[in-house]
Amino acid sequence: MPWCEGCSRFMNPNTLNADGTCPECGRTVEKSEAATTFAERDKAPWHFKLILAITVIYLTWRVIQLITWVVS
């Protein structure tokens, strides 16, 4: 997300001028490293993947228990 130093605010890429300047102050707008979109970030964190894997294992076990309960 672009950040304008002159206006001290984030700008929407669609509102910038064609040459990449701020429409209000006319300064060149730089892309902030702190305000990257999720698509530009690294992969999902390891603990999210761990929780997802544990959830899948747990739900699989519960489905197996349900099937054995229905069959018995």
Give the pLDDT score at 37: 56
The three-state (H, E, C) secondary structure of the chain, written as one string: CEEECCCCEECCHHHCCCCCECCCCCCECEECCCCCCHHHCCCCCHHHHHHHHHHHHHHHHHHHHHHHHHHC
Give the pLDDT score at 2: 74
Grade residue 35 by pLDDT with cuts at 50, 70 and 90.
very low
Q: What is the pTM of this model?
A: 0.45
Give the pLDDT score at 39: 56
